[in-house]
């Protein structure tokens, strides 16, 4: 598959993740009387990955996340030469999704970016008031476990065809745990889109939501092969679901 087509698939997949996940938080989480709440937002993020895995997994591998691409590269599931194209496409998809979401959300009376626009944050901008250290540990550990799920469920020795379900449910669980702490990132592209529209504190704190997920992903890319005994050489093909 040409790299351009894979990058385009990553763009649309990441668009869907950010639009669906953040959109559920901005538009539906607290909607009067029928708000979907924390559980609904967590499920929405999981469903975006589940649906896109089946839609574009056979095209690009459905990473939708710079940290995932980096973790797969470290685990020798993804060629380093394609990393830049994936990350650019993922970040672009996240930004465009945030722009579309902004156009929709700003059409309602009383909309205000001061509400956070589903941005990730720590300290005063954490939903539960959690500290920088708490946010750093949570994002690192949750991303580490996310990559362990991805690497394990896409292992050639694992049952075939079920990886999207495990990964989608894994992301749902991650959000159930982490929304109160940082609003949950585990994905730099997901964090970047909303932060650029909120500006100010959201951009100032964005570094954490790049650094921690990448650290967690790199650790998983090292640990999973060591634990599983998997031996791979770098492939020219993207890892797929």
* pLDDT score of 239 more than 90: no
**Residue whose entry in the numeric block shows the structure tokens 């749902």:** 172
User: Would 149 be classed as within a structural domain?
Assistant: yes
Say if residues 75 and 228 touch (Cβ distance below 8 Å).
no
CA dist 155 and 140 (Å) reads 22
Position 32 scores a pLDDT of 59
User: Would 235 be classed as within a structural domain?
Assistant: no
CA dist 30 and 107 (Å) reads 16
Q: Supply the DSSP symbol for 28.
A: I
User: Would 233 be classed as within a structural domain?
Assistant: no
User: Would 146 be classed as within a structural domain?
Assistant: yes
Rounded CA Rg of the chain: 17
> Above pLDDT 90, what percent of the chain?
83
- 3 state SS of 110: coil
CA dist 129 and 79 (Å) reads 39
User: Would 9 be classed as within a structural domain?
Assistant: yes
Q: In which band, very low, low, confident or very high, does the pLDDT at 236 lie, cut at 50, 70 and 90?
A: very low
Position 74 scores a pLDDT of 96
Work out how many domains the chain is built from and give that number. Answer: 1
User: Would 208 be classed as within a structural domain?
Assistant: yes
Overall pTM surpassing 0.75 (yes/no)? yes
**Residue whose entry in the numeric block shows the structure tokens 């799920």:** 149
Say if residues 130 and 138 touch (Cβ distance below 8 Å).
yes
CA dist 101 and 110 (Å) reads 15
Say if residues 201 and 123 touch (Cβ distance below 8 Å).
no
Q: Round the average pLDDT of the chain to a whole number and report it.
A: 92
CA dist 174 and 63 (Å) reads 16
User: Would 238 be classed as within a structural domain?
Assistant: no
Q: Which residues of 183-208 are buried (b: 16+ CB within 10 A; e: fewer)?
A: bbbbbbbbbbbbbbbbeebbeebbeb
pLDDT, tens only, 102-156: 999 999 988 889 888 999 999 999 999 999 999 999 999 999 999 999 999 999 8
Residue 71: give its domain's CATH number: 1.20.1080.10
* pLDDT score of 237 more than 60: no
Say if residues 61 and 73 touch (Cβ distance below 8 Å).
no
User: Would 234 be classed as within a structural domain?
Assistant: no
Position 33 scores a pLDDT of 63
pLDDT, tens only, 89-105: 999 999 999 999 999 99
Q: Which domain holds residue 21?
A: 3-108+116-228
pLDDT, tens only, 176-220: 999 999 999 999 999 999 999 999 999 999 999 999 999 999 999
Q: Higher-confidence residue: 30 or 227?
A: 227
Helix H or strand E encompassing 182: helix 163-182
């Amino acid at each position: 598959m040409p790299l351009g087509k894979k990058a385009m698939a990553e763009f649309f997949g990441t668009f869907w993740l950010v639009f669906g996940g953040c959109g559920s938080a901005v538009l539906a989480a607290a909607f009067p009387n029928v708000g979907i709440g924390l559980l609904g937002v967590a499920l929405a993020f999981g469903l975006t990955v589940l649906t896109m895995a089946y839609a574009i997994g056979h095209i690009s591998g459905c990473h939708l996340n710079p940290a995932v691409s980096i973790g797969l590269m470290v685990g020798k599931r993804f060629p380093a030469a394609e990393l830049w194209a994936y990350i650019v496409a993922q970040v672009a998809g996240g930004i465009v999704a945030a722009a579309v979401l902004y156009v929709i959300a700003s059409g309602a009376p009383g909309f205000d970016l001061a509400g956070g626009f589903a941005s990730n944050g720590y300290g005063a901008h954490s939903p539960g008031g959690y500290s920088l250290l708490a946010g750093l540990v949570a994002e690192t550990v949750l991303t580490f476990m996310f990559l362990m799920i991805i690497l394990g469920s896409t292992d050639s020795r694992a049952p075939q065809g079920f990886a999207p379900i495990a990964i989608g449910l894994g992301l749902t669980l991650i959000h159930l745990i982490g929304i109160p702490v940082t609003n949950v990132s585990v994905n730099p592209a997901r964090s970047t889109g909303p932060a650029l529209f909120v500006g100010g504190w959201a951009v100032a704190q964005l570094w954490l939501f790049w650094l921690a997920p990448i650290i967690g992903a790199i650790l998983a890319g090292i640990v999973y092969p060591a634990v599983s005994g998997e031996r791979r050489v770098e492939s020219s093909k993207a890892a797929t679901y």
